[in-house]
Amino acid sequence: MASSDDRLEIEVWADVLCPWCYLGDARLEKAIEASPHRDRIDVRIRTFQLDPEFPSEPRPVVEYLADKKGMTTEQARQMEGQMAGLAAAEGLAYDSDHRVQNTLDMLRLVHLANDHGAGWEFMKAMQTLLFSGDDAAFDPETHVRVGTSLGIPEAEIRDVLAGDRYADAVRAEHEEALQLGARGVPFTVLGRRLGIPGAVPTEAYGQAIEQAAAGV
């Protein structure tokens, strides 16, 4: 078994509602699975809330994008169609009419999941529900169900949802990403040496893993 000094930590800053994070996570996972270093890689998900002012009421993503980016509904729909095509190429489900809303609760739960060694798994599960168009993706009971399936105690999940625990941690990780040079997400840092902005191809993640593992 490798010592802690032999391990490579990959940190990924992401938001649940970010489609590029959804793609990036899938590509990174494929790169790790194909890497000869996979048995000594630890992935830690970090949080980066893209829109803290987003209301807590769900909105259709096309409507949200049109308002947020100042584009027409048709332009937003075309953008979502393109994302659906990219997701399909990665074998991912993607409903162009999915709904979005404020992700603070989800991101706070990512921090709880990290405390139980399941942060990346929780993030990926939330992404899959949201982008596949599951209207229950933002339902607290869904969060409880997914969290407990990953070994997180139900009482802890409900405690987080009932208060503001980890809210400061979400804001702190956002600021940390900015200090490291991130201007959006996904933002991936390997071994605190190599940073990757955006969702790059699987091959590029693989090359970065090789470089970081070699200490380059």
What pLDDT, in 10s, does the model give residues 144-192?
Answer: 999 999 999 999 999 999 999 999 999 999 999 999 999 899 999 999 9
Residue 4 has pLDDT above 90, yes or no: no
Give the DSSP letter of residue 40: G
What pLDDT, in 10s, does the model give residues 75-132?
Answer: 999 999 999 999 999 999 999 999 999 999 999 999 999 999 999 999 999 999 999 9
Nearest to 182 by CA among 15, 8, 1: 15
Give the DSSP letter of residue 39: G
What is the three-class DSSP state of 93?
coil
Residue 167 backbone phi and psi in degrees, to 5: -60, -40
Average pLDDT over residues 9-18: 97
Structural domains in the chain?
4-213 (3.40.30.10)
Alpha-carbon distance of 125 to 13, in angstroms, equals 16
Give the pLDDT confidence score for residue 1 in this predicted structure.
37
**Other beta carbons within 10 Å of 62:** 22
Residue 204 has pLDDT above 80, yes or no: yes
Residue 3 has pLDDT above 80, yes or no: no
Alpha-carbon separation of residue 122 from 70, 113, 149 (angstroms) = 32, 7, 10
Residue 70 backbone phi and psi in degrees, to 5: 65, 40
Alpha-carbon distance of 86 to 41, in angstroms, equals 26
Name every residue whose Cβ is closer than 8 Å to that of residue 20 and which is 6 or more positions away in sequence: 185, 186, 198, 199
What pLDDT, in 10s, does the model give residues 19-56?
Answer: 999 999 999 999 999 999 999 999 999 999 999 988 88
